Amino acid sequence: MNPMKYVLIVAGGKGLRMGCELPKQFLPIGGKPVLMRTIEAFYAYSPEIRIILVLPCNQQAYWNELCLKHGFSIPHQIADGGETRFHSVKNGLAFVTTPGLVGVHDGVRPFVAQEVIARCYSLAAGKQAVIPVTDVVETVRHLVGEGSETVSRDAYKLVQTPQVFDADLLKQAYEQPYTSHFTDDASVVEALGKPVYLTEGNRENIKITTPFDLKIAAALLDSCSI
């Protein structure tokens, strides 16, 4: 039997690095809010997937207005954003009520490839903890004291989402006290001593973070016409 699949789409942040009053997850690319494009990617993967959208409490009414304006009708439940990404994920996990697989995906990564979503969920059924990564394509320097040194880029990977886990494992991991080292879900699961399996992500799957990323997003939209 196929496991129940959930995705927590975390969009509870303020988008400070974007420097816009409106959080970046609501900004339009190609006329449609980033977040709607992200949700559509998971619905296209599976119309049965349970979508839990984590939003800042003070933006939930605005989101409902946006849904009406854009005729957006993909079913989803809304959870309250927290102080950090960790707290937002934890709030979203309260809506995961059955065993199965839970993906956690940044609301501001609308260009995730269908193959990447499918592979992460499919592998997680056996491996319990799977994350998409890409190669480092530039030279990397490590800051040491006043100076710096080149390190082998082959020893590093760049981490993306969706990060997909066995639901019970992820819930247990998120019972741990928060530390600032928890910058993604894999780091939380690893703190339990569980191994995390790496699979190939897609380079287009950028995290829209700064105004420059919006320009890249517009170009990506033109090139893949989604």
Ligand X SMILES: C[C@](O)(CO)[C@H](O)COP(=O)(O)O
Ligand Y SMILES: Nc1ccn([C@@H]2O[C@H](COP(=O)(O)OP(=O)(O)OP(=O)(O)O)[C@@H](O)[C@H]2O)c(=O)n1
Binding site for ligand X (CB under 6 A): 85, 106, 159-161, 183-184, 207
Tell me how far apart the alpha carbons of residues 93 and 89 are, in angstroms, rounded to a whole number: 6
User: Residue of minimal CB distance from ligand Y?
Assistant: 13
Q: Which two tokens stand for residue 74?
A: 């993909």
Tell me how far apart the alpha carbons of residues 101 and 8 are, in angstroms, rounded to a whole number: 11
User: Is the CB of residue 168 less than 8 Å from the CB of residue 175?
Assistant: no
Smallest distance, ligand X to C-beta of residue 113, A? 16
Looking at the Cβ atoms of 94 and 151, the one nearer to ligand Y is: 94
User: Is the CB of residue 213 less than 8 Å from the CB of residue 206?
Assistant: yes
Enumerate residues 62-121 that contact ligand Y by CB under 6 A: 81-85, 88, 106-108
| Count, residues near ligand Y per rule CB under 6 A | 21
Among 32, 119, 127, 207, binds ligand Y (CB under 6 A): 207
Q: For residue 14, state whether it binds ligand Y (rule: CB under 6 A).
A: yes
Looking at the Cβ atoms of 1 and 137, the one nearer to ligand X is: 137
For the packed helices 34-45 and 114-127, what is the interaxial angle rounded to 10 degrees?
60
Tell me how far apart the alpha carbons of residues 186 and 157 are, in angstroms, rounded to a whole number: 13
153 binds, among ligand Y, ligand X, none (CB under 5 to 8 A by kind): none
Looking at the Cβ atoms of 8 and 49, the one nearer to ligand Y is: 8
Smallest distance, ligand X to C-beta of residue 47, A? 25
Give bridge partners of residue 37 from the DSSP assignment: none
88 binds, among ligand X, ligand Y, none (CB under 5 to 8 A by kind): ligand Y
Q: Which residues contact 138 (CB under 8 A, 6 or more apart)?
A: 153
Looking at the Cβ atoms of 60 and 84, the one nearer to ligand Y is: 84
Tell me how far apart the alpha carbons of residues 154 and 159 are, in angstroms, rounded to a whole number: 14
Distance of CA 183 to the CA centre of its chain: 12
Q: Which residues bind ligand Y (CB under 6 A)?
A: 10-17, 25, 54, 81-85, 88, 106-108, 207, 209
